[in-house]
Chains A and B, each alone.
Chain A
Amino acid sequence: MPSYRAPLRDMRFQLEEVLGIESLRNLPGFADAGGDLVAAVLGESAKIAEEVLLPLNQSGDREGCRFADGVVTTPAGFRAAFRTFAEGGWIGLSGDPDYGAQGLPYVLATAVSEMMISANMAFSTYPGLIAGAIEAISRHGSAAQKRTYLPRLFKGEWGGTMNLTEPHCGTDLGLLRTRAEPRADGSYAITGTKIFISAGEHDLTDNIIHLVLARIAGAPAGTRGISLFIVPKYLVNGDGTLGARNGVACGSIEHKMGLRASATCVMNYEDATGFLIGEANRGMRAMFTMMNAARIGVGLQGLALSEIAYQNAAAYARERRQGRALTGPAFPDQPADPIIVHPDVRRMLMTMRAFTEGGRALLLRTALAIDLAHKDADAEARRDAEDYAALLTPVVKATLTDLGFESVNLGLQCFGGAGYIRETGMEQFVRDARITQIYEGTSGIQALDLVGRKLPAHTGRYLRQFFHPLDRFLQDEMANPALKEFVSPLARAFARLQQVTAWIGEEGLKDPEQAGAAAADYLRLFGLVALGHAWAGMAKVAAERLASGTAEAPFYTAKLATARFFMAKMLPDTAALQARITAGAAPVMALAAEAF
């Protein structure tokens, strides 16, 4: 069975030493987030992840969810674990204190989520979907809707879902058919079929609050005619007690490659009572405002699985003995050396490590931007942070899930044949990680979002929030001898990013297929530069700590070594990506569709 120790030291390094969240004490919610509390919160959630959730990960995968007569049963132990998690108040970590949550920073909630996902990604989808429902209702609900639903969702007494997908519409939500007929009492009758709905039905909570996209009778076609509705599984009486069963039922659950303990449901709505949330025909906009957090949450899944895969691969590589070190036996008294002596195994472990720690830095930085976008006292700072988060969201989502999948796959590879065997748990990480590249918008769609929406938005305003600070960092540190080895390669990669950005701007304007064909490579190049920026920032802190003397020299020395690996072995991919992008769309589109 895989083991897991929450990476608390690295999390505190990132939160406190790199991001300096202590210096944000003047922001609402951050006043409490001083060192002691951060340590206590991370420490206790680490215990829950390691002791409660991890032991259910493999068993949950084997058992899966069961479906009979419209009822979904989660694997053994899930109910008790969910109670522990919910009663501990963890769902409300960063929510609104007016409705019973704790109001702590989202960036701290993100670190806590990482641990939960590493330990048991399937389990984490249930509280994850509750967080989605909370976000929707907090942002767009009426005061009465907030009062009715938020406190119970924060407590984990009720579950939540997001119902977008239908059999004929996944990426292209404009095709959506689920209907909403207005009723005399102001509610709507919702009818239609949704598929692939995570946590659509389960036995963890007394009620489930579905958020459903549907089209009001007579609304325009396409995305401009879609509205968002609250459809509770059990209607809620005026006094908050549960009333009649609503007209929504789970028709079946999917049998999946991975994430098997998370119920993926077909949901049938038949004259179900729904309540409009936000304005009519503005449902897609409401969805978009929530999408940053949801997509960053999926990026986090790629990162979190990479962390646990790395930990187990590193442990295995120190134990498994095969072959001899190329420089001569490292353990002459043993019949063979541990495989960690082999450069190719090191390459795999370093790639995983450089991705995981760099990814964590990038992700937490983006999560902090979401906090600042909500909470900064200064309106301009809020807008800047919002721009940064909007720009980086597709980059984080696709980069951390695509590279995260590669990373867990490397973890399996370190195990050799044992990695392919269920027992070790490594193949489960690969199966579980695979969905992250698909849901909440495929990686391809993230790339189009970046190139088609985020780059041109407000004549390139978003881009400035990434380019300018990076440019400043490079200017400031160019002459710093301690950082030269990090700054120079980063500057070269950044120059490539600027060149391809200009290329796409020009060529894409003339021919949209140029932009479309370049999008995925462009996003990856962007992602590598963003990871490089994160690594250079970490290297700066580590070098400063080492220069001023520290009892933790091994920790900071390892940071610098990993930063060097990233710059030397991963960032150079930007050169190949630049060549691919500027080769244009013609090689991609050369064959006629009939030729495939």
Chain B
Amino acid sequence: MKILVTVKRVVDANVKIRVKPDQTGVDLANVKMAINPFCEVAVEGAVRQREAGRATEVVAVSAGPASCQETLRTAMAIGADRAILVKTDVELQPLAVAKLLKAVAERERPMVVLLGKQAIDDDSNATGQMLAALLGWPQGTFISKLEFGDGVVTVQREIDGGLQTLSLTLPAVLTTDLRLNEPRYASLPNIMKAKRKPIEELTPEALGVDVTPRLKLIEMREPPARPVGQKVASVAELVARLRDEAKVI
């Protein structure tokens, strides 16, 4: 069983991001980048399946500029066997990524495509769902447990009301929640081995996918600074101000 696992390069979770002065997006010049934490969980999940003998190969795939190679090397240091980079400098939106992944999935024919449920940069939470629809495969999103059976995978999903268990027929698209596992620290020997593992490069053109953006970002702004807290003298005043000023009750 082959698992295709997706990785996205995003701003490191510890970086305090800033909006560009012209408000066209987040300033990414020289900020530290890292593998999206949800993708890291997905890679760890896939590698554990291979280590347990259930998966035979784990292929990491990323779409974006050449610098995504570094992110793919991170995935291979965790244990992915090889990697595919769909190289493009076009700004990618979820539907374009889903189409690229569909094309890659059709070449690679995995039993499972494992994605992070969302990326911490734009929090779209859309690519996995779109991919499942495009492939016509069943989907299990926000999973915190997975178990493979004969031609099926049973997943536990984190949903608003609690936990839901689904059984899906393979092949399937799965997206991970953070509680699926705790990713390991890559070992030094594996970091070095990752350097020698192959990264295949493809392009959207070669895959026959039009990645032209379809959504337009009009403006990006910092959220308004939170005003300092205020003390109220009594419960009555609190209620009055919640009603009259904040208009929340």
Contacts and interface: CB of A to CB of B under 8 A. Distances in A.
Contact of A552 (B30, B74, B189): B30
Contact of B187 (A5, A36, A37, A87): A87
A37 B195 contact: yes
A273 to B, nearest CB: 33
A40 B77 CA distance: 9
Contact of A102 (B30, B34, B186, B188): B188
A74 B191 CA distance: 30
B192 interface: yes
Given A5-B14, A40-B191, A551 B185 contact: no
A41 B188 contact: yes
Interface in B189-204: 189, 191-192, 194-195
Contacts, number: 52
B10 to A, nearest CB: 14
B162 to A, nearest CB: 30
B32 interface: yes
A90 B192 contact: no
Nearest to B186: A44
Contacts of B77: 40, 44
Interface residues of A, number: 25
Given A32-B195, A40-B77, A551 B29 contact: yes
B70 interface: yes
B73 interface: yes
A88 B185 contact: yes
A90 B191 CA distance: 11
Contact of A32 (B74, B187, B192): B192
Given A5-B14, A84-B185, A44 B191 contact: yes
B194 A40 contact: yes
Contacts of B188: 41, 44, 88-90, 92-93, 102
A48 interface: yes
A551 B28 CA distance: 11
A47 B195 contact: no
A92 B187 CA distance: 11
Contacts of B32: 8
A39 interface: yes
Interface string A205-239: 00000000000000000000000000000000000
Contacts of B14: 5
B185 A44 contact: yes
A111 to B, nearest CB: 13
Contacts of A93: 188
Contacts of A89: 187-189
Given A5-B14, A551-B30, A40 B70 contact: yes
B28 to A, nearest CB: 10
A32 B30 CA distance: 24
A36 B191 CA distance: 10
Contacts of B73: 36, 40
Contacts of B189: 89, 102
Contacts of A90: 188
A26 B74 CA distance: 26
Given A84-B185, A551-B29, A41 B195 contact: no
A549 to B, nearest CB: 13
A409 B88 CA distance: 51
Centre residue among A52, A87, A89, A93 by max chain B CB count within 10 A: A89
Nearest to B191: A40
B74 A40 contact: yes
A43 B78 CA distance: 13
Contacts of B195: 32, 36-37, 40
A93 B191 CA distance: 11
B116 to A, nearest CB: 18
Nearest to B29: A551
A102 B192 contact: yes
A88 B74 contact: no
Given A40-B70, A40-B77, A88 B187 contact: yes
B185 A36 contact: no
A87 B186 CA distance: 10
Contacts of A84: 185
Given A5-B14, A8-B32, A551-B30, A37 B186 contact: no
Interface in A48-102: 48, 52, 84, 87-90, 92-93, 102
Contacts of A88: 185-188
Contacts of B69: 36
Interface string B11-25: 000100000000000
Nearest to B74: A40
A552 B189 CA distance: 32
A36 B192 contact: no
Interface in A511-559: 551-552, 555
Interface in A139-162: none
Contacts of B34: 43
B152 to A, nearest CB: 34
Interface in A110-163: none
A32 B194 CA distance: 11
Contacts of A40: 70, 73-74, 77, 186, 191, 194-195
Given A40-B195, A88-B188, 14 more contacts: A8-B32, A36-B69, A39-B70, A40-B70, A40-B194, A41-B191, A47-B185, A92-B188, A93-B188, A102-B188, A102-B189, A102-B192, A551-B30, A555-B30
23 contacts: A8-B32, A32-B192, A36-B69, A37-B191, A37-B195, A40-B77, A40-B191, A40-B195, A41-B191, A44-B77, A44-B185, A44-B188, A84-B185, A88-B185, A88-B187, A88-B188, A89-B189, A92-B188, A102-B188, A102-B192, A104-B192, A551-B30, A552-B29
Going nearest first, the 8 A-B pairs with the smallest beta carbon separation are A89-B188, A88-B187, A551-B29, A89-B189, A89-B187, A552-B30, A40-B191, A44-B186
